[in-house]
Structure 1
């Protein structure tokens, strides 16, 4: 090697292999590959030499001094001539002689047991070295995987707009939050009464004779809880209005034999936009999963819970409820149609998980306790998870956590822990906060 470089960075130099020189562009780092152990190398070298084959590198021993050069896939094909296997030792033939590749056979490790095998995950990435750049910056690029939470990427322009809109328009009154739908612009989806009406008609053809009764029971419960309300049917309204298609999902469960699925993705025409396409979806929430999972490797005891009917506990401002209407039949004859509108954030909208997450973060930011600040990393959509060192910590914090969330009308349910705690370790708060105006 002519004038080996002494500092980190991108350099160009001549590498002599055998009788030939090769011009190489390399990334130099003095801290790669120190004290690499190669058990059995000396014995394998002597055995091969006794067979008339000398290795190109005679310096390494069982305790090698380190790696001198790592060849990338762009240079490796230039140097490899052929491969051989002699006495179970895999060899590459290069212009400078034979080099060992892969593991050494067990016979080379006299008096030693087979080594322990560890699992290694390897990530490959193409790195450009056209411009001189420090190795640290190149390695950092390998880990810029914001989708799994390895690094925190800044918000995009649209994500920042969504967050700003939420902060400017959200209101808190009587333990409930009211939000606006996060429209991207002043343009709105076209009225789609005809298409929504046509998509309602297939319900008449369901084989279940009790379909209307099951449907109506769910809608009556929604009305009782304050999630929806009947509205005047306006099929020829020229203003801003949108109807959500819906369909039933039948299940074998005795407690919930059916649920209603609302769809915000259909378009009213080939050149129109759907309701979902009109919304900001906010920052990618998947980046939170990695940090939440890692919490369970830090402490022995976990505590999990769900926010009961989380999306339905956030109200939609009055002026945006017309975009969350849907049609259904007036009675079991299924001949006359009536309309309802959602008063709360609905399932089926791409923006709903973002609105829920942002509401929780907004609520925790407004609290003064240090515990509320710590809880900001404990929620993923409607799921709560937190880890502890001692079971007594769970007992002391669980009621405080529930109290904080009840201030946002978001009671936690389905508490679960692996800690040795017997009985009901939470005193559930009032469950009658669902009543909405």
Structure 2
């Protein structure tokens, strides 16, 4: 008869079986080893190998050689473009089409329209964007934009997303012509471990953090919106 054994890993069943009359059904525990292997693979700390050290080094070089600071201490950086930035095609027609779709949506939702308009006014009043009067529609890049609503957010329920992945007439997007730099933030596992290391933890949010970093005025043509 099978016996229930108590082990450090829990109870296990072992012992002989008396075959019953009729068809004998047997079960296998082979799947246990597979599940255990998956468990250890999932829990294993993985270290990502750098795939393109040359690209990361080039990004760092651009940052070191071109970054400046304004009189009030803000950083002015260059976009780390790759050599194929000249292959960007026409983008205004796509941005206009997306804006027309957005406008139709806002016409049917007055509350969303007011929130979106308030966001754009704030963006301009803070000096994070400015109106241009003379421009070449074939030069630079137009960023399509749309609203994302998150009702569960305590602070900002509406966020505007500027889409740098929208393809131009050449098939390339703004994201496609930028070099990919190294990951500078801490790994998620490191952050979780630090949370368990100390008795007290402080969490803070830098308001509009990414907007505090300015783009070289000569490259602002690559961040136009309608």
TM-score by length of 2: 0.71
The partner residue of 1:243 within 142, 149, 152 is 142
Asked if the contact 2:59/2:179 (under 8 Å) is kept, the reply is yes
Shift of residue 157 of structure 1? 1.6
Segments of 5+ residues of structure 1 without an aligned counterpart are 1-86, 90-104, 107-113, 125-142, 328-437
Aligned residue pair count: 193
Task: Tell me what 1:196 maps to.
Answer: 95
Aligned 1:109-124 pairs, distance under 5 A? 114-117=6-9, 122-123=40-41
Task: Tell me what 1:146 maps to.
Answer: 47
| Larger RCO (CA under 8 A, 6+ residues apart) | 2
C-alpha distance 208-154 of structure 1, shift in aligned 2 (>3 A): closer
The partner residue of 2:115 within 214, 230, 241 is 214
Shift of residue 187 of structure 1? 2.5
Secondary structure at 1:301 match in 2: coil
Deviations 1:166-205 (A, max 9, x none): 1111112322111111111263422311221122111332
Aligned 1:26-425 pairs, distance under 5 A? 88=2, 106=5, 114-117=6-9, 122-123=40-41, 145-147=46-48, 156-173=53-70, 174-185=72-83, 187-188=85-86, 189-206=88-105, 207-232=108-133, 234=135, 236-238=136-138, 240-250=139-149, 252=151, 256=156, 258-269=158-169, 271-284=170-183, 288-327=187-226
C-alpha distance 293-251 of structure 1, shift in aligned 2 (>3 A): closer
Deviations 1:269-299 (A, max 9, x none): 2x43100111123124576222222222333
Secondary structure at 2:202 match in 1: strand
C-alpha distance 261-172 of structure 1, shift in aligned 2 (>3 A): same
What's the RMSD between the two structures over aligned residues? 3.1
Secondary structure at 2:83 match in 1: coil
Asked if the contact 1:146/1:153 (under 8 Å) is kept, the reply is no
Secondary structure at 1:230 match in 2: coil
C-alpha distance 209-175 of structure 1, shift in aligned 2 (>3 A): same
Greater strand fraction, Structure 1 or Structure 2: 1
C-alpha distance 302-210 of structure 1, shift in aligned 2 (>3 A): closer
Distance 2:114 2:188 in 1: 40
Shift of residue 316 of structure 1? 0.6
C-alpha distance 154-251 of structure 1, shift in aligned 2 (>3 A): closer
Shift of residue 313 of structure 1? 0.8
C-alpha distance 192-315 of structure 1, shift in aligned 2 (>3 A): same
Distance 2:132 2:118 in 1: 18
Secondary structure at 1:187 match in 2: helix
C-alpha distance 292-185 of structure 1, shift in aligned 2 (>3 A): same
